[in-house]
A and B are shown apart, each in its own frame.
Chain A
């Protein structure tokens, strides 16, 4: 009962690039930094962005840890070389180890360690962004954002997000349209936070099914029962997806605070980010 999510790649790529270009023109910054994990999201981000920034103004950071495979790094390098952009390989394991040694607990679980990794990468991206007067490109796709499958202030920390309006299966489709190497499109998506981690393995549902559930719930406004009865989705899959969306709502917002005054930020003090 799965449908292929519709996507006009040509026009959507044009729209996303126009968004990047107009925003950069508006804020007067010409450069960007992007983390290249070797996965489909960061690859498509780089492929879309390079046309706007130009190869000399896009810096790719490849930041492997012990949890990454050699293939991840190779794919990151392949993207940098295919696009002919500047890149740096900065291994992060020493930094992660140093954090782990000093956080004040003896045993650290893999999720907490994974979050340290993601946040180390964020620090490096912002270091280079500061140095180069650049923006940090966020690479998360809509599926990950909705499921909360990202680290708050880790890979969730960026200045502009390029793929955020594309579901995972659409990112793959866009990747094929943009000429992304097939090996990168075909390999199973992973957050790369521990060895052998795959997103689908961890969530327990394929991206094709997740995207179909999300697409029907969000875009077509089906009720959960309708997704089960009319689309033939597994009730436990739908429940799991719903739970992940609800539990991660905080990750998609700026921090909440008490509204005391007449004019509080983002409540009654409402300015566009393109203000200057």
Chain B
């Protein structure tokens, strides 16, 4: 099976209202089952909202319970959603994470590695950054996950691609002013890695921050295959063919030509930056 159906659940979570947000997740999960979706993706911090500040600590237990409920209801779906996650070893330390759910259980989580701490963003005030780029072999595909700021840094999706993923799932809470650049980045990340990009953004507004929506799937050669509405909630389903990947890579062998020696140059430059 090289074809799979992806559902982009572009929702507008209510800040801190985990129960209400969970209900919305469950409603879309049922809808996705009816549409025979294989991979269903919700945006960054979809269960609790993005700008919860000190509420993050208080809503952590509710988020844990909500994940259990979603596991029980996942059916044949592979589901990805954005959560706050407590560090496995150190209690009270939080991550901004994505969780992968299938067969009624959590198969893994990945932590946002670039926590924005400039302008309006305060991720670093509340979360610990992850240090690992992981890929997940799910029922229908191999995927890696980048969370919002992560895909403004090219090495994240590049690592996801070099680790063998077929789809880079990008989940975000991207504010209104970032729309034009965000759309460019989705295309660029697809092309420079010849990988499918499945992008799901928040919709609606929290604390006055309007999220631009515009979720989309971009093919490995940069074509937008499906596009959700701007700003408002939307649910789009799109079937993709994973055989497009070798077809595109035969003509654009970018990953084949990726060179360790050049990446080492990058590491060297980083070292120099840190020595400054």
Spell out A's residues near B (CB within 8 Å). 11, 14-16, 18-19, 21-23, 25-26, 269-275
Q: Output the nearest chain B residue to A273 by Cβ-Cβ distance.
A: B207
Q: Output the nearest chain A residue to B208 by Cβ-Cβ distance.
A: A19
| Contact, CB under 8 Å: A23 / B208 | yes
Could you count the A-B residue pairs with CB atoms below 8 Å apart for me: how many are there?
Answer: 52
A-facing residues in B62-81 (Cβ within 8 Å):
none
| Contact, CB under 8 Å: A275 / B55 | yes
| Contact, CB under 8 Å: A15 / B210 | yes
Cβ of B247 under 8 Å from chain A? no
Given contacts A14-B230, A275-B55, contact A23 B16 (CB under 8 A): no
| Contact, CB under 8 Å: B176 / A274 | no
Q: Which residues of A contact B230 (CB under 8 A)?
A: 11, 14
| Contact, CB under 8 Å: B231 / A18 | yes
Bound Cα distance from A25 to B54, whole angstroms: 22
Bound Cα distance from A271 to B53, whole angstroms: 6
Bound Cα distance from A18 to B176, whole angstroms: 11
Given contacts A270-B53, A271-B54, A274-B15, contact A18 B210 (CB under 8 A): yes
Q: Which residues of B contact A15 (CB under 8 A)?
A: 176, 205, 210, 212, 231
Q: Which residues of A contact B212 (CB under 8 A)?
A: 15
Partner of B16, one of A11, A14, A19, A274: A274
Partner of A274, one of B12, B207, B210, B231: B207
| Contact, CB under 8 Å: A272 / B210 | no
| Contact, CB under 8 Å: B54 / A23 | no
Partner of A26, one of B15, B54, B176, B232: B15
Q: Output the nearest chain B residue to A161 by Cβ-Cβ distance.
A: B208
Bound Cα distance from A14 to B229, whole angstroms: 11
| Contact, CB under 8 Å: A19 / B205 | yes
Cβ of B24 under 8 Å from chain A? no
Q: Which residues of B contact A16 (CB under 8 A)?
A: 210
Q: Which residues of B contact A18 (CB under 8 A)?
A: 204-205, 210, 231-232
**What 1/0 mask marks residues of chain B from 32 to 68 whose CB sits below 8 Å from any chain A CB?**
0000000000000000000111110000000000000
Determine chain B's interface SS by DSSP, over half rule. Answer: loop
| Contact, CB under 8 Å: A23 / B205 | yes
Cβ of B5 under 8 Å from chain A? no
Q: Which residues of A contact B51 (CB under 8 A)?
A: 272
| Contact, CB under 8 Å: A274 / B206 | yes
| Contact, CB under 8 Å: B55 / A272 | yes
Given contacts A11-B231, A272-B15, A274-B16, contact A19 B55 (CB under 8 A): no
Bound Cα distance from A25 to B15, whole angstroms: 12
Bound Cα distance from A274 to B52, whole angstroms: 9
Cβ of B14 under 8 Å from chain A? yes
CB distance from A25 to the nearest CB of B (A): 8
| Contact, CB under 8 Å: B53 / A22 | no
Given contacts A15-B176, A26-B14, A26-B15, contact A272 B207 (CB under 8 A): yes
Q: Output the nearest chain A residue to B176 by Cβ-Cβ distance.
A: A15
| Contact, CB under 8 Å: A22 / B16 | no
* Contacts A/B (CB < 8 Å), 14 sampled: A14-B230, A15-B231, A18-B204, A18-B231, A18-B232, A19-B208, A23-B208, A26-B15, A272-B16, A272-B51, A272-B52, A274-B14, A274-B16, A274-B206
Bound Cα distance from A22 to B54, whole angstroms: 21
Bound Cα distance from A271 to B56, whole angstroms: 10
With A11-B231, A19-B205, A22-B206 known, 14 other A-B pairs at CB within 8 A are: A15-B212, A15-B231, A16-B210, A18-B210, A18-B231, A19-B208, A23-B208, A271-B53, A272-B15, A272-B206, A274-B15, A274-B206, A274-B207, A275-B16
Q: Which residues of A contact B208 (CB under 8 A)?
A: 19, 23
Bound Cα distance from A103 to B14, whole angstroms: 47
Q: Output the nearest chain A residue to B180 by Cβ-Cβ distance.
A: A8
Q: Which residues of A contact B232 (CB under 8 A)?
A: 14, 18
Partner of B205, one of A22, A270, A271: A22
